[in-house]
């Protein structure tokens, strides 16, 4: 039994009869293993997608809350530390401000005064003045000594104007001069040393003040930096938390990507399977078209000759002779577009060896049915059997 559609359209759009037992218009069935492989790939893709979803769900429900809680704890601790550092920074800044004000109001003026005094003291004129004061002190001391000696000499009856006494006075004068010179020198040296000491004190005071101010400012800056560093910790924690979530999301995406690849492979396999099926069907279609074209051409020539009356009374029956009386083993296999039934049949043994008949199974219509639908397509051969002009049927 051949497929239901025993006629197919040719390349010219007409319906052509299909001759020969075993002919078909269906493409070969695809290999079942292709479909099985496609199903297996689809199952694998679904498993990958389910695994990615489960992995993301586990991360979101279990890992992420723990990390978020830890991050929040660190954030709270960092905020407390930042607040403490801010308070320390504020205190140090207040101390530095007060110290700077004291430096400006007290120590800087004192420093300027010391510097001025050192500069004024450490001069040649001031040293000479100090030396003169030392000489005056020596002179005063010797004058006091002379007065005492004169009084003592008179008490002993010695005349201060005598030569002996004057000789002693000259010796005292020499001693006084030497003492004055020595006192002046020592006074100058002492003034010089004191002047340098005053200068060094002023310099030392200035250096100390600058160092103290720098220390105070440094403490304030360190407190500020500590406060800023403490403020950076929450941002670092938040960044790490975001990175971890991105990693979890990336892992899920990788799983989905693998699933998508598997789905793509399954789809490609299905497309290849469908392409193979279509290619086989097209090949069969071409073979059928060529076969149908040959049969149609033969039938056209035979039927054309029959229509012109070249069939003899000797009983030559072409396959186009469609009288039901010549056929047996008849089966319905389809219909034409005009509604005529298509049959598969064999010629009866008495007619199999006729030149226009043949052995095997053939497909076609029945003349008595065509006559009711398309009367002009049916004619009677000289042998008295009905034939069909297939050019009007197909």
CA distance 306 to 182: 173
Higher-scoring residue by pLDDT: 326, 249:
326
Mean pLDDT of the chain: 74
**Mean pLDDT on 326-337:** 93
Backbone dihedral angles phi then psi of residue 5, each to the nearest 5 degrees: -85, 95
The pLDDT value given to residue 343: 95
Comparing 186 with 45, the larger pLDDT belongs to: 186
**Mean pLDDT to the nearest integer, 311-337:** 73
**Residue % of the chain over a pLDDT of 90:** 12
> For the residues 362-376, what does the mean pLDDT come to?
93
pLDDT tens, position by position, 174-207: 888 888 889 889 888 888 888 778 778 777 766 6
Per the CB < 8 A criterion, the answer to whether 367 and 322 are in contact is yes
Q: Which residue has the higher pLDDT, 394 or 362?
A: 362
Alpha helices in the chain (DSSP H): 32-58, 64-102, 108-121, 124-155, 163-307, 349-352, 367-373, 390-393
Least confident of 37-41, 270-274, 304-308: 304-308
Work out the pLDDT band at 219, boundaries 50, 70, 90: low
Q: Are 268 and 3 in contact (CB under 8 A)?
A: no
Tell me how far apart the alpha carbons of residues 321 and 299 are, in angstroms, rounded to a whole number: 10
Between 67 and 164, the more confident residue is: 67
């Amino acid at each position: 039994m051949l497929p239901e559609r025993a006629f197919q359209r040719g390349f010219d759009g007409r319906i052509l009869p299909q001759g020969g037992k075993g002919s078909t218009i269906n493409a070969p069935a695809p290999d079942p293993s292709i479909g099985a492989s496609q199903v297996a790939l689809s199952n694998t893709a679904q498993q990958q997608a389910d695994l990615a979803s489960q992995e993301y769900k586990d991360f979101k429900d279990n890992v992420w809350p723990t990390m978020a809680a830890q991050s929040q704890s660190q954030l709270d601790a960092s905020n407390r530390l930042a607040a403490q550092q801010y308070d320390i920074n504020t205190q140090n800044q207040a101390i530095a401000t007060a110290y700077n004000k004291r430096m400006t109001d007290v120590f800087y003026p004192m420093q300027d005064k010391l510097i001025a005094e050192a500069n004024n003291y450490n001069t040649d004129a001031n040293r000479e003045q100090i030396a003169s004061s030392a000489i005056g002190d020596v002179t005063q001391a010797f004058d006091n000594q002379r007065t005492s000696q004169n009084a003592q000499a008179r008490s002993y009856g010695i005349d201060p104007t005598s030569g002996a006494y004057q000789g002693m006075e000259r010796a005292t004068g020499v001693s006084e001069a030497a003492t004055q010179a020595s006192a002046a020198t020592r006074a100058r040296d002492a003034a010089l040393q004191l002047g340098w000491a005053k200068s060094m004190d002023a310099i030392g005071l200035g250096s100390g003040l600058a160092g103290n101010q720098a220390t105070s400012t440094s403490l304030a800056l360190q407190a500020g930096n500590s406060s800023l560093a403490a403020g950076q910790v929450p941002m670092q924690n938040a960044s790490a938390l975001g990175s971890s979530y991105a990693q979890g999301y990336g892992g899920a995406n990788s799983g989905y990507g693998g699933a998508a690849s598997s789905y793509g492979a399954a789809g490609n396999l299905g497309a290849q399977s469908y392409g193979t099926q279509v290619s086989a069907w097209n090949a069969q279609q071409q073979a059928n078209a060529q076969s149908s074209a040959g049969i149609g051409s033969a039938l056209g020539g035979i039927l054309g000759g029959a229509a012109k009356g070249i069939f003899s009374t000797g009983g030559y029956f072409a396959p186009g002779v469609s009288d039901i009386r010549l056929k047996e083993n008849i089966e319905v296999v389809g219909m034409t577009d005009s509604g005529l039934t298509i049959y598969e049949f064999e010629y009866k043994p008495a007619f199999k060896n006729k030149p226009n008949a043949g052995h095997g199974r053939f497909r076609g219509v029945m003349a008595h049915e065509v006559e009711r639908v398309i009367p002009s397509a049916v004619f009677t051969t000289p042998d008295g059997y009905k034939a069909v002009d297939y050019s009007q049927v197909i």
